[in-house]
Amino acid sequence: MKKALLLLITVVSTLACDNSEDSTNELYGQWQLTEVLVNVDGTYYFSPTSSDKVITFFSDESLACAGDICANNNYANEYTIGTFSETFQTISSNNCNGSNSLTFEQTADTIVITYPGTELSQAKYIKLLNN
């Protein structure tokens, strides 16, 4: 009986452990543009930028952007909307000409969006707290 009880406790403890990502990795919320990828003599690196461009990801897989979500720039002079897939790490908007799908990679506190084109074009966003 003690062995069965010990086995039951072990199984329940194992199943109770949550291997899902920490809530700090949650995509939902506001993310502000902080860096853009630049190319200097064939060397790429992220360079800090000052911008009010903010993307808000919602739990229904929609998004809103203070700025053009389709353009790799730091302007926040327009408002665009779109959708995203956390599973496929893609962003879509009708505002994007030609290819209307962008890709992104997320870490705990950053998102890097890759824009389509012949030259590597990326922008880095950080998660804003308290949103």
Per-residue pLDDT of the chain (131 residues), as tens digits, is: 444 434 434 433 444 444 444 444 689 999 999 999 999 998 999 999 999 999 999 999 999 999 999 999 999 999 999 999 999 999 999 888 766 689 999 998 999 999 988 789 999 999 998 65
Whether residue 51 contacts residue 74, with contact meaning beta carbons closer than 8 Å, is answered with yes
Q: How far apart are CA 56 and CA 53, in angstroms?
A: 10
pTM of the model: 0.77
SS3 14: helix
- CA terminus-to-terminus distance, the chain: 50
